[in-house]
């Protein structure tokens, strides 16, 4: 079978496509890529896994394969968040890291994330080379075998976080918090660090469940009902959540309101510029709110737009060109941190912003709106018929002057097709690479208008209305 890497690694259903044989193919190819033409390449690899089914078994197999290629291996001793893996790679000067995780996907999935020596997700040119190696069949190593040792990366990672978040301010504010790791790898990380600094935290779903409660370990609004109830009933400052591998965040404000990733990315960018005095730019993916643009304009800093996939934002983090980079899919990182999504630091910085500013996130958003205006984002998935799918490429290559009566000011083809309308609203269409589906994103000053734009996008894709 063909194995393809998406925006964040390879994922497949366990025992269907995600098998021991296919894992061997992928890991052999990764090791072959790292060795080919690199006689002076570092010889250490980090191998880890999250809390999914069979994670330990797959990680042990990968460690043996890497050792057979001559790599020394540090194998994480327990479920490890993806951002912790990123820190471990850099902290141990490794050539890269292989993490077994399917992130926020349903429990029947498993996956592999490959990170390079900077701790960032592998860029497309690298994953293409790995895909070619998989197809060609890189053989197992047969040279001198490397050593395999256990690694507990938690302490060093938490120590690093403590240097980047004002934990004293959080403690002094005496706010109480709830944390939901959604049975994932974040258990014993975020809550532990807060408790060690005297902060009261109540943790739910604090045990390993490879079924994640029977659903995807995704910290979206519809998965955080228990967290919301806890926050409201006990009068807590915030409810904080991370996904299966700890690289995405979810936030419930003190009033029970879910703070969308789009809104939080913009709000945190504003807070960091104000509190840290940083003057570098901010970055967002093409699908992320233009509220970030308005913050950049209001604060007098540069704005960078990237394709979808955190690896592109990670490059800007590596170059120290941005204060913060974020995506609407609940991923962000900040200046001086790693070029990888980190849901744990995102949650900690939410607590810091509330503590330092002395107001709730909802109140902070209203203050931000008073300065730059309100924007509401939305997203839908449009399933395509065979006929529409066959004509999709041609459809998206068209350049309409208007869509459903909205005049198009310009078209952005950085990633998918983004229509920027004359009234300042926008709509993005991004085809899925794995199924007959197009994701449609839109933004306007009101939820109702955003929903109307999304419906216009659905009609446009399906050919239900005039191109204008």
Q: What is the pLDDT of residues 457-467, one digit of tens each?
A: 999 998 864 34
Choices 3.40.50.1110, 3.40.50.261, 3.40.120.10, 3.40.50.970: CATH for 260-341: 3.40.120.10
Please state whether beta strands 10-13 and 109-116 pair in parallel, antiparallel, or not at all (unpaired).
antiparallel
Helix intervals (H) in 383-446: 386-390, 392-397
SS3 of 375-436: the string is CEEEEEEEECCHHHHHCHHHHHHCCCCEECCEEEEEEECCCCEEEEECCCCEEEEEECCCCC
Which pLDDT score is estimated for 41? 54
pLDDT digits (tens, 9 = 90+) for 81-133: 999 999 999 999 999 999 999 999 999 999 999 999 999 999 889 999 999 99
Please choose, from the candidates 330, 87, 308, the residue with its C-alpha nearest in 3D space to the C-alpha of residue 217: 330
Are the C-beta atoms of residues 328 and 341 closer than 8 Å to each other?
no
Please state whether beta strands 376-383 and 437-444 pair in parallel, antiparallel, or not at all (unpaired).
antiparallel
Residue 233: CB atoms within 10 Å: 10
Helix intervals (H) in 92-243: 124-136, 154-162, 167-173, 190-196, 225-234
Q: Read off the pTM.
A: 0.94
The alpha carbon of residue 220 and the mean position of all alpha carbons in its chain are separated, in whole angstroms, by 13
Q: How far apart are CA 302 and CA 20, in angstroms?
A: 46
Which pLDDT score is estimated for 142? 77
Residue 154: CB atoms within 10 Å: 19
Q: How far apart are CA 156 and CA 246, in angstroms?
A: 16
Which pLDDT score is estimated for 467? 41
What are the start and end residues of each CATH 3.40.120.10 domain in the chain?
10-155, 173-256, 260-341
Which pLDDT score is estimated for 52? 96
Q: How far apart are CA 433 and CA 430, in angstroms?
A: 9
State whether residue 56 is helix, strand or coil.
helix
DSSP state of 211: T
DSSP state of 333: E
* CA-to-CA dists, residue 425 to 89, 108, 197, 404, 408, angstroms: 41, 38, 44, 13, 10
DSSP state of 421: E
User: Which residues are within 8 A (CB) of 2 and not within 5 positions of it... i.e. 6 or more apart?
Assistant: 131, 135
CATH code: domain 173-256 is 3.40.120.10
Both structure tokens of 82: 């993806």
Which pLDDT score is estimated for 61? 97
Are the C-beta atoms of residues 295 and 283 closer than 8 Å to each other?
no
Place of tokens 């200046």: 335
Give the 3-state secondary structure percentages of the chain, helix then strand then coil, rounded to 5: 40, 25, 35
DSSP state of 257: -
Which pLDDT score is estimated for 22? 96
Q: How far apart are CA 186 and CA 80, in angstroms?
A: 7
Which pLDDT score is estimated for 385? 86
Taken in order 297, 247, 419, 260, is the CA torsion positive or negative?
A: negative
What are the start and end residues of each CATH 3.30.310.50 domain in the chain?
376-462
Please choose, from the candidates 293, 190, 168, 170, the residue with its C-alpha nearest in 3D space to the C-alpha of residue 250: 190
End-to-end CA distance of the chain: 43
Both structure tokens of 62: 């990968």
Residue 279 has φ and ψ, to the nearest 5°, of -125, 10
Q: How far apart are CA 289 and CA 64, in angstroms?
A: 44
Residue 310 has φ and ψ, to the nearest 5°, of -70, -15
Is 376-462 in CATH node 3.30.310.50? yes
pLDDT > 70 fraction of the chain, expressed in percent and rounded: 97
Class of 10-155 in CATH: alpha beta
Flag residues of the chain having pLDDT under 70: 37-42, 433-434, 464-468
Are the C-beta atoms of residues 179 and 360 closer than 8 Å to each other?
no
Which pLDDT score is estimated for 418? 98
């Amino acid at each position: 079978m063909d194995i393809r890497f998406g925006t964040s690694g390879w994922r497949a259903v366990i025992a269907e496509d995600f098998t021991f044989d296919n894992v061997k193919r992928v890991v052999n190819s990764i090791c072959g890529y790292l060795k080919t033409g690199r006689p002076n390449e570092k010889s250490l690899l980090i191998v880890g896994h999250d809390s999914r089914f069979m994670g330990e078994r797959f990680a042990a197999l990968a460690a043996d394969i890497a050792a057979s290629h001559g790599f020394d291996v540090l194998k994480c001793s327990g479920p490890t968040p993806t951002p912790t893996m990123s820190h471990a790679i850099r902290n141990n000067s490794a050539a890269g890291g292989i993490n077994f995780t399917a992130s926020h996907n349903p429990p029947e999935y498993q996956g592999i994330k490959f990170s390079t020596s900077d701790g960032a997700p592998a860029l497309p040119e690298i994953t293409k080379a790995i895909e070619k190696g998989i197809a060609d069949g890189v053989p197992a190593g047969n040279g001198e075998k490397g050593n395999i040792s256990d690694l507990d990366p938690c302490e060093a990672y938490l120590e690093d976080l403590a240097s980047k978040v004002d934990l004293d301010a959080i403690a002094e504010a005496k706010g109480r918090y709830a944390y939901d790791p959604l049975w994932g790898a974040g258990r014993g990380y975020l809550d532990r660090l807060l408790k060690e600094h005297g902060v009261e935290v109540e943790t739910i779903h604090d045990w390993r469940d490879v079924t994640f409660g029977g659903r995807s370990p995704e910290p979206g609004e519809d998965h955080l009902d228990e967290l919301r109830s806890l926050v409201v009933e006990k009068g807590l400052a915030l409810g904080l959540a991370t996904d299966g591998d700890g690289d995405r965040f979810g936030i419930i404000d003190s009033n029970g309101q879910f703070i969308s990733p789009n809104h939080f990315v913009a709000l945190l960018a504003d807070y960091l510029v104000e509190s840290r005095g940083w003057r570098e730019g901010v970055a967002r993916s093409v699908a992320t709110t233009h509220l970030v643009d308005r913050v950049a304009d209001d604060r007098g800093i540069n704005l960078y737009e990237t394709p979808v996939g955190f690896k592109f934002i990670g490059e800007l983090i590596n170059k120290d060109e941005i204060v913060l980079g974020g995506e609407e899919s609940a991923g962000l990182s900040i200046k001086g941190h790693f070029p990888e999504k980190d849901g744990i630091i995102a949650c900690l910085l939410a607590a810091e912003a509330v503590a330092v500013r002395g107001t709730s996130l909802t109140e902070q958003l209203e203050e931000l709106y008073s300065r730059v205006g309100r924007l509401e984002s939305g997203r839908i998935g449009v399933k395509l018929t065979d006929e529409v799918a066959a004509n999709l490429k041609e459809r998206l290559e068209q350049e309409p002057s208007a869509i459903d009566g909205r005049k198009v000011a310009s078209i952005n083809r950085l990633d998918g097709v983004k229509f920027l309308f004359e009234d300042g609203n926008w709509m993005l269409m991004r085809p899925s690479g794995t199924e007959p589906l197009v994701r449609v994103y839109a933004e306007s000053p009101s939820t109702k208008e955003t929903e109307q734009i999304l419906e216009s996008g659905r009609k446009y894709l399906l050919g239900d209305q005039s191109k204008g």
